[in-house]
Amino acid sequence: MNFKIPGDRSKFSLYLMLVLLAAAVALMVVGANVILPVALIALDVVIFIFGYVLYDEALEE
């Protein structure tokens, strides 16, 4: 596996992470649902982990 990720990719994943986190917090404040904010936070964590792991691997090469 050879990932070539430009520097903008990490910024994009960071912004996406913040947007998802804000959406999850907003949903919890509204109290619309319990499952959806939890799912968004889980997705948030996955994006954070994969985004930075792939970015670090790209930097090492």
Q: For residue 1, is it within any domain?
A: no
Distance of CA 43 to the CA centre of its chain: 6
Percent of the chain with pLDDT over 70: 64
Residue 31 lies in domain: 7-60
DSSP assignment letter at 34: S
Handedness of CA 11, 15, 16, 20 (dihedral sign): positive
Q: For residue 40, is it within any domain?
A: yes
Question: What is the arithmetic mean of pLDDT over 19-31?
Answer: 76
Q: Report whether pLDDT(60) > 70.
A: no
For the chain, what is the domain count?
1
pLDDT band at 18 (very low <50, low <70, confident <90, very high): confident
Q: For residue 34, is it within any domain?
A: yes
